[in-house]
A = this chain, B = another copy of it.
Amino acid sequence: MPLAFEILATSGQARRGRLLTPHGAVETPAFMPVGTLGAVKGVTPQELEAAGASILLANLYHLALRPGIDAVERLGGLHAFTGWRGPLLTDSGGFQVWSLGGLRTLDADGVTFRSHLDGSPLRFTPEGVVSFQERMGVDIAMMLDECTLWPVEPAAAAASWERTLGWARRARAAWRGTAGGLFGIVQGSVYRELRERAVAELSELDFDGYAIGGVAVGEPEADRRAVVEWTAPALPRERPRYLMGVGYPEDIVHAVAQGVDLFDCVLPSRNARHGVLFTRAGALKIRNARYREDPRPLDPQCGCPACRRTSRAFLHHLSRAGELTAAVLGTLHNLRFYLDFMAGLRQAIQLGALTEAASLARRATGEDPPEDADSDVLPVSSDPLEQRSS
């Protein structure tokens, strides 16, 4: 079955949609947790489901290196391999080839690079990358693109887009469309004319969805937002739109307001491992001394295993000690925060009140709120009946 996308409600340019995939529905706007090697770091598939994730992102580049596409195929595909039963999206590896690969050679036909693990040679072509993803049985495949890093000169960005457009045509032609869908990727760096041209040229190819790439690669926030404003509303209305690698809650609200439907980012999981935990009152640096004896849950409105059972003081203690459980509980919390946040945005669109949601995003991003910003938060309850959890 191919992808199907329906728009259930709108609020301004924001869309409340539903993406039907071979492995289930994704209510949009949606956040895709990042499981580079097939699992979010420290999280079981079951816990990811319990947190409310409906779609998982994995990285083709890393999987192609280890265990290899052949192995994944022999093991029954990426769903059977990872134990994740919902929709799966794999990126095309373009970003990793450009950002990680020191030894790559680019030609008109594709890119050859060396494994960062053992130096063995690998080759990605537009057709090969489509085939890799089809063989793994993913629900959403991404075309191979050249991800221009930032900064890049206008002429180089334009030449890069020409190559990516050629690869887009070849990927589209190679896609057999038996199951799931193939997304095209808009590039063009921070140049408006180039981005607009890329949107128009890519849209002609009738992909199953469209991604905005080449952002969150170091450019200023104003540039990133401008790119979203130029591109998202201009992409085909009836197809899902995916902003790659973004980001903070505020960036997500902004992009949702421009009509973006899908997001992925390592922020919730990576920040959790570094002790930065998002809450409705602000982002807590849990290792700060002020949390040493704070008996309250991270966020009293959160239903994650950490908030249902433990306190800031305990997370502070585990995080200071470098305990694995700090990373696990923190990641479960941050993912739940992001997934709840997206559910809030979906509801806001349905109620036509997206702007109110933006204020929550601003608050959640501010680090370590004033001491009294959450002074009305009660200590974690010791009443078992109030705390039944996953």
Contacts and interface: CB of A to CB of B under 8 A. Distances in A.
A105 B311 CA distance: 36
B41 A323 contact: yes
Given A43-B325, A79-B382, A81-B317, 11 more contacts: A39-B325, A42-B324, A44-B325, A45-B305, A45-B310, A46-B389, A47-B47, A67-B317, A71-B293, A83-B311, A85-B384
Nearest to A382: B80
Contact of A83 (B79, B309, B327): B309
A329 interface: yes
A37 B293 contact: no
Nearest to A297: B83
A138 interface: no
A328 B42 contact: yes
Given A309-B46, A324-B328, A295 B80 contact: yes
A306 B75 contact: no
A44 B82 contact: no
Contact of A305 (B46, B305, B384): B46
B328 A37 contact: no
B324 A327 contact: yes
A181 interface: no
Interface of A: 37-47, 66-67, 71, 74-76, 79-83, 85, 292-293, 295, 305-306, 308-311, 313-314, 316-318, 320-321, 323-325, 327-329, 332, 379-380, 382, 384, 389-390
A305 B44 contact: yes
Copies of this chain in its oligomeric complex: 2
17 contacts: A39-B314, A41-B324, A41-B325, A42-B325, A42-B328, A45-B305, A45-B309, A45-B310, A46-B390, A67-B293, A71-B293, A75-B313, A76-B382, A80-B380, A82-B310, A83-B309, A324-B324
A108 B25 CA distance: 70
Nearest to A328: B42
A293 B42 contact: no
B293 A44 contact: no
Contacts of A314: 38-39, 75, 81-83
A271 B340 CA distance: 36
A384 B67 CA distance: 25
Given A46-B390, A71-B292, A66 B325 contact: no
A83 B308 CA distance: 9
Nearest to A321: B37
Contacts of A295: 75-76, 80
A380 B75 CA distance: 10
